[in-house]
Amino acid sequence: MKEYNVAVMGATGAVGVEMLKILEERKFPVKNLKLLASERSVGKEMVFSGKKIKVELLTRDSFKGVDIVLASAGASISKQFVNDILSANALLIDNSSAFRMEKDVPLVVPEINPEDVKLNKGIIANPNCTTIVMIVPLKPLHDYGKIKRIVMSSYQAASGAGAKAMAELEQQTKDWSQGKELKVEKFQYQLLFNLIPHIDVFTENGYTKEEMKVVNETRKIMHAPDMQITCTTVRVPVLRAHSESINIETEKKITVEKARELLSKAPGVKLEDDPANKKYPMPLFATGKDDIFVGRIREDFSRKNCLNLWVSGDQIRKGAALNAVQIAEIIVKEGLK
């Protein structure tokens, strides 16, 4: 099998660290691996396949000889270095919001639109984590009954704001137990014992950018520009794994039994729907798992052809790192690089 020179941009962040784990776990054909980060991480050693690799400074010359760049360093950094990546003839799989809505950039979830990978012109975008957690279990339902409308509320873990945000929640927990004053830096308010209905900045229409990402990205991925979607995104005091309450309206009726049948066979989905025995998705059990867990499936008796679902998925894995590596695997399988 052909092997590839891979660079991980933002290697020391929460998603970058997870990318290394997943590349190793899934035995991605890595020939050489470059770990790229800012000055404060240069020289740090990370382990990949039993070998210690030193983190290098991210510069414009970092991409010479690289085949695939897995980027999770933020939108501004991706925009800063994209021309250098393309000039080096490397393929950029970008986990930031920098290019998601660009017309010529495919936005890909491998379980949903893997064929879009072939449309790339050097850049493939990874969707927002909240979008991925929602859209993976909706695909089989959409294929069967055609979704007309989605109403979603999210319950998003601290991990969505990065490693420092997770550390802040942990520190607040320790400080509270010791009667100390709680420090608030990463969020608008303390997250411990609280819910914050504010993720990203507010836009003119009253929705946050996070909420509009879900709307716009879902339409693009599903190739459904007229799909009606509304959502409210909320930060909750959970370390890792997002959860979502989803209500869908379909053109064709989907019974609970049919939904369970479809979801039980769907790639990337784990059906966990047995309320009588207290089996339902929770971030506690979704953490560290590849699949999106789906349960609490029930008909919405207030409206025709509607279903309610509850889902939980690991934001760092399937919501970010795993999805990016799966895209790279399609590139390898299809011989596109």
- Would you please indicate which residues are annotated as catalytic (active-site) residues? 129, 242
Scanning the chain, the segments in alpha helix (DSSP H) are: 14-25, 75-87, 129-145, 163-177, 209-221, 256-265, 283-286, 322-334
**Beta-bridge partners for 202:** 208
Taking the C-alpha atoms of residue 254 and residue 262, their distance in angstroms, rounded to an integer, is 10
6 close to 27: Cβ distance less than 8 angstroms: no
309: alpha, beta or left? (left if phi > 0; alpha if psi -120 to 50): beta
* Vertex 111: Cα angle to 14 and 314 (nearest 5): 30
> How far apart, in Å, are the Cα atoms of 201 and each of 94, 101, 150, 187, 231?
21, 18, 22, 12, 15
CA 189 to chain centre: 24
Beta 147-156 vs 292-299: how paired, if at all? unpaired
251 close to 146: Cβ distance less than 8 angstroms: yes
Tell me the one-letter amino acid at 26: R
Burial class (CB in 10 A: 0-12, 13-18, 19+), 282: middle
The DSSP letter of residue 116 is G
Strand positions, DSSP E, 187-327: 228-235, 242-250, 269-271, 292-299, 306-313
Tell me the one-letter amino acid at 72: S
